[in-house]
Structure 1
Amino acid sequence: MGSRAAEQRQEARQLAARLSAEGVRNVALTWVDNAGIARVKTIPAERLAAAAERGIGMSPVFDVFTSDDAITASDHLGGPDGDLRLFPDLERVTTLAAQPGWAWAPADRYDQLGLPHPACQRQFARRMTERAAAAGLELRMGFETEWVVTRAPADHPSATGTDEPLDYPCTGPAYGMTRVVELSDYLRDVTEALSVQGIDVLQLHPEYAPGQFEVTTAPAGPVRAADDVVLVRETIRAVSVRHGLRASFAPSVVAGQVGNGCHLHLSLYRDGTSLHRTPDAPWGLAPDASAFLGGILGALPALLAIGCPSPASYLRLQPSHWAGVYQCWGVENREAALRLITGAPDDPDGGHAEVKTFDAAANPYLAVGAVIAAGLHGIESATRLPEPQTGDPGVLGVRERARRGIVRLPATLTEAADRLEKSAPLYEAMGEVLHGAVLAVRRAEEAHFAESEDDAIAAATRWRW
């Protein structure tokens, strides 16, 4: 143990020296709370070795922060007492291309005795990844990041201002080349910054809503995929600021318009072989892949409280908007909550699944960990996928949906939180402390917005993510 600690100290010192040579003066250490907000403590670069050895102090109360910075409480967390230590992941220290003089690292959280904090979401994601590995499964995951960009007002109104007009810097049609032309310098700088930081961009394109874009990055292991999406968002935010723009990743930027999703893609492998391209198997899925996806599909009502954690999320989740609001799956069906993507036979990114319901208000570590837990429960309980659905369930009559066994996913955060509260597999996977903290935050968000109109919810959360 002492030898390993000495190696880490030496590694951190060498890393700090390299950062200094690159002109880095400060390092941002981030974690993501249960409301999906990336929180931060920063240290001078020369303090990196000390942070890697002893951690940086922080209060455990952040686990019960809500999206508007109010503080609630759970049975185990809340109040002014206690302290935790943030430990930077030295393997993920990244010099930030759009923030000169800065580097970034995700952090794990431990108590003062060096034990893992039971509500640390990043360690939860790692535990679930290790649980999958113990079952012989390797997962590759990746996120699609959608955002809306507007011009930053000269007086930069408060983040929760309800009356601020949105000034879009591009006016071209959905998916139109016009938007790329209008913002070509900005989009070039986004992709360049991501590339310099080691993020492999697969594609970037205009999306449906005004000022909306989407970037897709390469898949990785679950924890790295969650790290990557945090870095992607903050890089886009930083590039936007340098161009006099503002980026919103909120589920609903303007009530009644198409919102921002953050779809989660996943693929399974055993011994290096894809379980999504099994010859002669139904839909090409090996039995374990079919059961894993069946577990996700069955858990989706509860998973919505993880992947769609804000009242604003449910403004986005509308039928016939490609958001996946019905509990069904389909082959290349963009209205299904769980989409199987076959891809071309020689496509390395083909043969995987997509959870379409999730948005960027979600803590990505919670999202990947909970999805893995649901999938593993599907394997353990030998869950079978029902028949896939074609077409848009939203245009079917109530009786036809009932005949096909298609039900609406929770339409409110209250419904989703109720399902999470009753989910024994997710409770077991998350543990009492983390599960309770998540529920406490969801209940507080429900209460805060209980009397709010849709426009007020969208305006209040527009710049929180």
Structure 2
Amino acid sequence: MGSRAAEQRQEARQLAARLSAEGVRNVALTWVDNAGIARVKTVPAERLAAAAERGVGMSPVFDVFTSDDAITASDHLGGPDGDLRLFPDLERVTTLAAQPGWAWAPADRYDQLGLPHPACQRQFARRMTERAAAAGLELRMGFETEWVVTRAPAGHPAATGADEPLDYPCTGPAYGMTRVVELSDYLRDVTEALSVQGIDVLQLHPEYAPGQFEVTTAPGDPVRAADDVVLVRETIRAVSVRHGLRASFAPSVVAGQVGNGCHLHLSLYRDGTSLHRTPDAQWGLAPDASAFLGGILGALPALLALGCPSPASYLRLQPSHWAGVYQCWGVENREAALRLITGAPDDPDGGHAEVKTFDAAANPYLAVGAVIAAGLHGIESATRLPEPQTGDPGVLGVRERARRGIVRLPATLTEAADRLEKSAPLYEAMGEVLHGAVLAVRRAEEAHFAESEDDAIAAATRWRW
């Protein structure tokens, strides 16, 4: 143990020296709270080795922060007492291309005795990844990130006037090349910054809503995928600032318009072999893959409290908007909450699944960890996938949906939180402390916006993510 600690100290010193030589002066250590906000402590580059050895102090109260920076409490967390230590993941230290002089690292949280903090979401994602590995499963995950870009208000880039009209820097049609032409320098800088930082961009394109774009990045192991989506968002934000623009990843930027999703893609492998392309198997799914997806499908009402954690999320989750608001799955069906993507036979990205309901208000570590937990429960309980659905469930009558066994997913955060509270598999996977902290934050968000109109909810949360 002592030898390994000495090696880590040496590694941290060498890394700090390299960063200083590259002109890096500060390192941002981030974690994502239960409201989906990326919080940060920063250290000078020359202090990185000390941070890696002893951690950086922080209060446990951040686990019960809400999206508007109010503080609630759970049975285990809240108030001014206690201390935790942030430890940067040295393997993920990244020099930031759009923030000269800065580097970034995701952090894990421990108590002062060196024990894992039971509410650390990143370690939860790692535990679930290890649980899958113990069952002989390898998971690869990746996110699609959607955002809306506007011009920053004159004279004050951080202004947040709720009644201020949004000034879109592009006017082209949905998915139109015109938007790319109008913002070609900006989009080039986004992809270049991501590439320099080691993020493999699969595609970038205009989306449906005004000023909306989407970037898809390559899959990786679940913890890395969650790290990557944090880095992607903050890179887009930084590039936007340098272009006099603002980026919003909020689920609903303008009430009544198509919102921002953050779809989660996943694929399963055993001994290096895809379980999504099994010859002669129904839908190409090996039995474990079918049961895993069945577990996710069955847990979706509870998973919404993690993947769609804001009252604003439910402004986005509207039928017939490709958001997946009905608890069903389909083969290449973009209205199904769980979509099976077959791809062409020679497509390396084919043969995986997509959870369409999630958005960028979600803590990505909670999202990947909970999806894995739900899938593993599906295998343990030998869950069977029902028949896939075709077409848009939203255009079917109530009786026809009932005949097909299609039900609406929770339409409010309250309903989703109630389902999470009752989910024994997710409670077991998350543990009492993390599960309780998440529910405390959800209940506080519900209460805060209980009397708010849709426009007020969208305006209040527009720039929080």
Whether contact under 8 Å (1:152, 1:246) holds in the other structure is yes
| Residues 1:175 and 2:175 are matched in the alignment | yes
In 2: Cα distance, 1:10 partner to 1:250 partner? 41
SS of equivalent residue, structure 2 residue 296: helix
User: What is the CA distance between 1:157 and its match in structure 2?
Assistant: 6.9
Query: Using the alignment, how far apart are the partners of 2:390 and 2:39 within structure 1?
Result: 41
What are the within-5 Å matches in structure 2 for residues 95-106 of structure 1?
Answer: 95-106=95-106
Q: Which runs of 5+ in 1 are unaligned?
A: none
Q: Would the alpha carbon gap of residues 228 and 157 (structure 1) be closer, same or farther in structure 2, given more than 3 Å must change?
A: closer
* Distance (whole Å) between structure 1 residues aligned to residue 155 and residue 326 of structure 2: 42
Please give the secondary structure, in 2, of the residue aligned with 1:173. Answer: coil
- Output the CA distance in 2 between the equivalents of 1:463 and 1:2: 46
Contact 1:161–1:460 (8 Å) recurs in 2: no
Report if the CA contact (8 A) 1:250-1:361 is conserved: yes
**Aligned match of 2:282:** 282
Contact residue 251 and residue 359 of structure 2 kept, 8 A: yes
Deviations 1:290-331 (A, max 9, x none): 000000000000000000000000000000000000000000
Distance 1:200 1:251 in 2: 24
Q: Secondary structure at the match of 1:146?
A: strand
Residue 76 of structure 2: aligned partner: 76
Q: CA deviation at 1:160?
A: 4.5
- Deviation digits for residues 74-94 of structure 1, max 9, x if unmatched? 000000000000000000000
Question: How far apart are the structure 2 equivalents of 1:221 and 1:159?
Answer: 37
| Equivalent pair of 1:319/1:394 in contact (CA under 8 Å) | yes
Please name the residue that 1:270 is paired with: 270
Q: Distance in 2 between matches of 1:137 and 1:286?
A: 12
Distance in 2 separating the partners of 1:295 and 1:92:
31
1:164 Cα deviation (Å)? Answer: 1.3
* Shift in Å, 1:159: 5.5
Task: Using the TM superposition, give the Cα deviation of residue 162 of structure 1 relative to its aligned residue in structure 2, in angstroms.
Answer: 1.3
CA distance in structure 1 between the partners assigned to 2:344 and 2:13 by the alignment? 47
CA RMSD of aligned residues (A): 0.6
CA distance in 1, matches of 2:149, 2:3: 49
- Aligned 8 A contact 1:64 1:441 in 2: yes
**1:365-380 to 2 correspondences below 5 Å:** 365-380=365-380
Give how far 1:399 is off.
0.1
* Aligned 8 A contact 1:314 1:412 in 2: yes
User: Hey, what's the Cα distance between the residues in 2 that align with 1:55 and 1:115?
Assistant: 12
Cα deviation for residue 158 of structure 1 reads 5.7
- In structure 1, how many angstroms separate the alpha carbons of the residues matched to 2:167 and 2:348? 39
Q: CA deviation at 1:161?
A: 2.6
**d(CA) in 2 for partners of 1:80, 1:153:** 36
Report the Cα distance in structure 1 between the residues aligned to 2:37 and 2:4, rounded to whole angstroms. Answer: 33
Give me the whole-angstrom Cα distance separating, in 1, the residues matched to 2:414 and 2:215: 31
Quick check: 1:89–1:106 contact (8 Å CA) kept in 2? yes
Structure 1 CA distance for aligned equivalents of residues 164 and 146 of structure 2:
21
State the shift of 1:211 in Å: 0.1
Correspondence for 2:166: 166
1:264-413 aligned within 5 A? 264-413=264-413
Distance 1:275 1:160 in 2: 47
- The answer to whether the 8 A contact 1:296-1:375 is kept is yes
2:230 maps to which residue?
230
Distance 2:74 2:161 in 1: 29
Residue 165 of structure 1 deviates from its aligned partner by: 1.1
Partners of 1:4 and 1:99 lie apart in 2 by 33
Tell whether the 8 Å contact from 1:159 to 1:462 is kept in structure 2 after alignment: no
Deviations 1:107-137 (A, max 9, x none): 0000000000000000000000000000000
Cα shift at 1:156: 2.7
Per-residue deviation at 1:154?
A: 1.1
Give the Cα separation in 1 of the matches to 2:321 and 2:366.
Answer: 25
Aligned partners of 1:59, 1:161: CA distance in 2, in Å?
31
For the residue of structure 1 that corresponds to 2:337, the secondary structure is: strand
Name the count of aligned residue pairs.
465
CA, structure 1 residues 159+403, in 2 after alignment: closer, same or farther (shift >3 Å)?
farther
Distance, in Å, in 2 between the alignment partners of 1:28 and 1:159 is 24
Q: Contact 2:61 / 2:77 at 8 angstroms: preserved in 1?
A: yes
Cα deviation, 1:52-81, whole Å, max 9, x if unaligned, reads 000000000000000000000000000000
**Whole-angstrom distance in 2 between the partners of 1:459 and 1:2:** 52
More displaced 10-residue stretch of structure 1: 283-292 or 150-159: 150-159
3-state SS, counterpart of residue 161 of structure 2? coil
The answer to whether the Cα contact below 8 Å between 1:370 and 1:426 also exists between their aligned partners in 2 is yes
Percent identical among aligned pairs is 98
8 A contact 1:87–1:108 mirrored in 2? yes
Cα offsets for 1:222-253 (capped at 9, x unmatched): 00000000000000000000000000000000
**1:460 & 1:200 partners in 2: Cα distance?**
33
Q: After alignment, is 72-81 or 153-162 more displaced?
A: 153-162
The structure-2 alpha-carbon separation of the partners of 1:277 and 1:138, relative to structure 1 and needing over 3 Å to count, comes to same
Name which of structure 1's ranges 151-160 and 431-440 shifts more when overlaid on structure 2: 151-160
Specify the SS of the correspondent of 1:336: coil
Equivalent residues of 1:169, 1:211 under 8 A apart: yes
1:194 corresponding residue in structure 2:
194
Q: Deviations over 1:375-395 (max 9, x none)?
A: 000000000000000000000
Q: 1:66 aligns to what SS in structure 2?
A: coil
C-alpha contact 2:35 2:362 (8 A) present in aligned 1: yes
Unaligned stretches of 5+ residues in structure 2: none
Contact 1:149–1:246, Cα closer than 8 Å, also in 2: yes
1:7 aligned partner: 7
Q: Secondary structure at 1:181's aligned position in 2?
A: helix
* Cα contact 2:343–2:349 (8 A) shared by 1: yes
* Structure 1 position 337, deviation (Å): 0.0
Where has structure 1 moved over 6 Å in runs of 4 or more? none
Alpha-carbon distance in 2 for matches of 1:453, 1:117: 37
Contact 1:159 1:464 in 2 (8 A): no
The answer to whether the Cα contact below 8 Å between 1:160 and 1:461 also exists between their aligned partners in 2 is: no
1:3 and 1:429 map into 2 onto residues whose CA distance is 33
Distance (Å, rounded) in 2 between the aligned partners of 1:294 and 1:302:
14
Q: For residues 447 and 164 of structure 2, what CA distance do their matches in structure 1 show?
A: 25
CA deviation digits over 1:11-41, x for unaligned, max 9? 0000000001100000000000000000000
8 Å CA contact 1:328–1:337 kept in 2: the answer is: yes
TM-score (norm 2): 1.00
Q: Measure the CA separation in 1 of the matches of 2:99 and 2:168.
A: 24
- Cα pair 2:153 2:159 within 8 Å, conserved: no
Answer yes or no: is the 8 Å Cα contact 1:410–1:416 preserved in 2.
yes
CA distance in 1, matches of 2:155, 2:413: 34
